[in-house]
Structures are given as structure tokens and as C-alpha cells.
Structure 1
């Protein structure tokens, strides 16, 4: 009996830690989806960028040696948040802002961005990076200069048509020149298609022994990190002026605009905040396995499930849904439930059939479909005038 209880404790713990990762990713998605109605298919790639940022920070701290390299995690969390928040800010300003109210186009555009980011981490090297920086400097710098002209609206389309191929040609030429002059032609990609590994610091190795099981310190750290992020987001939304503006725009965008709230600035801030949380989730994911260009794709579907089941835009809904889905998926997929219901043979046979990772997901999807038939708005549906409208 004791062994069964310990196995149940281990299964619940691992399920909660898995749900914590989903919650970290879903927090940002729930805020963005709830405020702007944007289906961001590139959210998983923002997690991937956060994981790769952690890998780079780890390598940088290795140059410092002991004892600094054991504390790279805290710098990695800050760096992952800032990098992904900046990328999210650019994504909102450069792509999504022009597609509000058009969910299908937004979905396709962000899916394209996700493919671009995946290929970017596979191919990026010094020549590639130099070409991108030169192109961005020429194109966006030229647009910024031309916008100061009084007839900008008249020449806008012509300016884009001229600057785009000109900037691309110059950046390609400079990249080819650098490759030939400095022998960078054979430069290998920084990351490539293969995965890279992030090594946990010494104080996160091992685990907490309880009976004949061990609770890994890395998963304990992820749970504590999730709790800290949830508390931080709650305090930001409930106690800060910008949090009040975000909640106001979520409830009624038109009225908020009439009251002088800069809704476009709120959109950018919200998207940057959600993207930064995805980066923190990517940092946590990097401790659980290899980091590759497909890392984000492993979590994006589950993250959307959390948002839909919990209720769009609801923080408490995301928390409950993430923990329930993560725990259920692990208990079923790991075979823990089979041991618990072993005396009841029909039930044991049923859970044995689903006691694999892929089949557990099938069962979870079926349960979610059945649940949404009765509560299509999720566990905690939105309330307010925008819902009534």
C-alpha cells in the first residue's frame, strides 16, 4: 500500500511540474488571446527562443568559471524574458497590428512567422546575421526617414516597392563579400538542426528523497518559478496602473479608448508581456530535455488546450486547467493509474490501453471534446458587456 501511495505521489508531482510548464506558456497566451483575440501560432517558437537564450547564457557564464557558472539560471531567466518580449513587441508592431479583427489571416501570418523562426535557428551564422542586420537597418531606416516627408501617404507604396528589393540586394552583396573576404563561406550554423543541451547547475542536480522515490530539484524549481510568475502577473494586473489599463481594454476596448487609454500601446505591452512569459517557459523547458528548432511545437497544442479549457482571458482558469491536464496526462501515460486500479480488472485493462504518451494524449483530447460540448466557454467563462454583445 505504501509503495502505491509513493508512486501516486511521484506521479502527481511529475504531473504538476508538467502542468507548471504548460501554465507558464499558457499565461502569456491567455493574456494575449483574451485581450486581442489573436491566435498566435508562433508562441511555441517564442518558447524556443527563450530556451536557446538560456543555452547561450549558460555558455557565457562557463567562461567566468566557478562559482559564477552555477548562478547562470537567474541571468538566463531575465535574458530569456527580455529577448522574447522584444521579439513579441516587433511581431505585434510589424505583423499583427495590421491584422486585428481578421483571425484567419492572423493565424496564417503567425504560422509563417513560426516557420521563419524555426529556419532561423537552424541556419543562423555570422554571415546570415550580418545580412539580416544590414537589411533591417536599410529598409526600416529608409522607411523612418521617408515618413518625415509631408507626402508620405502618397509615396508609401512606391517607397516600399523600391526599398525592399534594394535593401535585400545590398544585404546579400555585403554578406557575399564578407564570406569571400574573411573566408566565412564554410561557417557552420551556430545551432543547426540537431538539439543542444542545457546543463542544470550543481544546486539543481539530484532530488529530494521521499521513501524510495526522489523528487528532482529541477522540477521543484520549475514549480516554484511558476508560482512566482503567477503571483507577479496577478500583482501586475491588479495593482499597477498598466495592469488596470489592460483589464479595462479587455472588458471594453471602445470605452477605454474614449477614456483616453492608449489601446495600441496597451496591445504592444500586452503582447510583449505574453511573449516574455513564453521565454521564461522556454528557459524552464530547457532543463527537461534537449533544445531544438522543434521544441516549441511540442508544447503549442497543449498550451492552446489549457487556454480553451480554462476560459479565454481567465488567469484562474489557466491555472486550474494546466494543473488538471498536466497531472491527468502524466498519470494516465505513465501507467500510474493502472497500478492504483489493479484490483478492478476492467478498469485496469482500460487504463492499460491508454498507458503510453501518445494514447494518453488521445484520451485527453477526447475528454476535452466531451467537456466543451457542455461548457464551450471553458471552466471560467468571461463575463461582461463584451460577452453579452
Structure 2
């Protein structure tokens, strides 16, 4: 039986063969503890540092020591927000985030609010885009950190991070961006963006799950939020997961090599899918920005049906989700869709379709046909 066409690359990606090879080599040949001084330990340490350099090169970091490995992007986001807050709390007690942040940012922000911090949540427009002017208006003398995601995980809208960093830098305020969805899909350069901290997730660009990283610009005030030994420059204690780190390094090199062609390749499959669906489904509505969005992301609302029911009806041929994999099991309106002003009917019919490097035009044809057929059957019921 032919497996369904996978269109949920924003949820996770298949592990690349190069990543498997690097991780297996680490498990078999360089299995030592990176903190050990004998040869196996030194080899493991070299593997970690080689991967650190690859990640730094992918995101344009000036020094590989600015990359801190974590267990996932959620941990990296928590380290960014809580680590900066703990360091600056004696003089600054205000945080700014956007209304469409991933729970990995919103929840630590809310935790700081419970601890007495002031929290400003900046709204987005109907396309899910933050206004740099709104961020500027939210800033206060005691603002410690602004955290705005680079690209939204549901609708794919890309935020004006450079415009925002121009404002925060003038006021001496730190800027963090969660780039878990953008790294590997579009160019991500910490100097171009002007950020002080940046989060990435390995499993979003063909590495394994269970590995992430936080870029911390040299001189950024931050402290550890976990306690133990002094690994990862004292910011993330615990013996390093060398196989996963080796895999992340391989994925970073792979992503860097694909950057010249990845945008066009992803955009071609996404746009082909959008064209086929729009031609066959009257009233189909695009959610998110028409141009300023990830090249692989198509978030649309099908009229007259439930998006969940639609995907269930097409599940033999299409594997996709109604929204973020981290909070897509219930029927409540997504916080992102609520933030952009979707009414209940539009939100109910929403589906997130995301393509990847392996997606072919044959995949698109098969998926589009299955989705259209499922929609027609449901509206006729």
C-alpha cells in the first residue's frame, strides 16, 4: 500500500541519511564522554565542536562559542527568556512578546508574569504580522527582553525582525527570536537580523528530535536555569548528547548547501498545491501573508467543512494537520487564528499543509486530488 503524501514538514521532518550516518558514527566510534581527557573523550569533544562550528556557520554567528546546545527548541526558548530575566531582574522587570508566539515562548513569559514581571503582548495584523511600531510603543525603561518569532509555525508569516532589532538596539534592549520554523527553509543570519539570541530546532530541518540550540551573542547578559556541571559554557549542564549533536552538525551543513536552491524548490511545490486547491474549491481562503511567509507553508480554510474531518477523510492519501503539532488535538480555535481575526467557521475549516525538500510534483498532484475529493464528499453530506 502506498503511504500517504507527507505534508506536515512544519511539525517535523524525516531524518536525512547524512544525519543518520553522523549519529551512528558517533555512537559506534566516538562514544566517549566529551569531558574525558583520554582519546575517546577528546574525539567526542572534537565531534561536538565540529557540529558547533557547523551550526554557527549556518546562522552566521561570528564565533562558534556563541552556540549552546540544548535538548530541544523549547529548552532553548526557556533558557533565553528565563536566563535573561534571572540575570537582569534586579533592574529590569518587563518583557514583550507577540500574540502568536509558540507555547515554548508564551508559557515561560506567562511564568515570569506570575513571578511579578510585567508582560506586554503585542498584537498582529490580519496576516499575522507584527508591527515594528507596535513593538516600539510597548517598550519601557525597564524592558529587559523582546521575543518575537522569526516565522510562525502555523501560518508561516515571517516577521520584520530586522526592523524590530533596529529599534531595540537603539534602546539597549535585548532581542530574542524563535527561528525553529525558519532555519533550513530561508536564510537565517544573526547579523542580518540583528538579534541577541536565536533558537533553532534540529528536527525541523532533517536532524533528529531531542536536539536544539540557542545562539547567545557574546556579551549578552544571561545565566543558567539548570544546575549541574559546567558544560556548554556553564549555560546547559549535563553530558552532551553527542550523537544528536553530530547529527545536528550534519543537518546544518546539509541546510547550508541547499540554501541557494531551497526557496525555489519549496515554493514551487507549495504554490502548485495552492493553485490546484484554489481552482477546485470555491471559497478557499488563505490564512497568513500572501508573500511574506515561509516558502513551504500553505495554511488554508476549506468552506463548509471541519478541517479535522477533511484530513480524516483524506488520511489514506495525505498526512497533514490542522495546526501546530504541539497543540492540535482539540477543537478549540487556534490562538494564532484568533489573533488574526478568523471567525469560527473559517477557523474550523483550517488546515496547515507544509512541503519539504523531498516533496515531488507527483506528491502534490496526489494530495490535491485527495483533498478536493474529500471536501466534495463532505459538503455533499
Q: If the length of structure 1 is used for normalisation, what is the TM-score?
A: 0.26
Q: If the length of structure 2 is used for normalisation, what is the TM-score?
A: 0.26
Larger Rg computed on CA atoms: 1
Higher relative contact order (CA 8 A, sep 6+): 1
Q: Which has the higher helix share?
A: 1
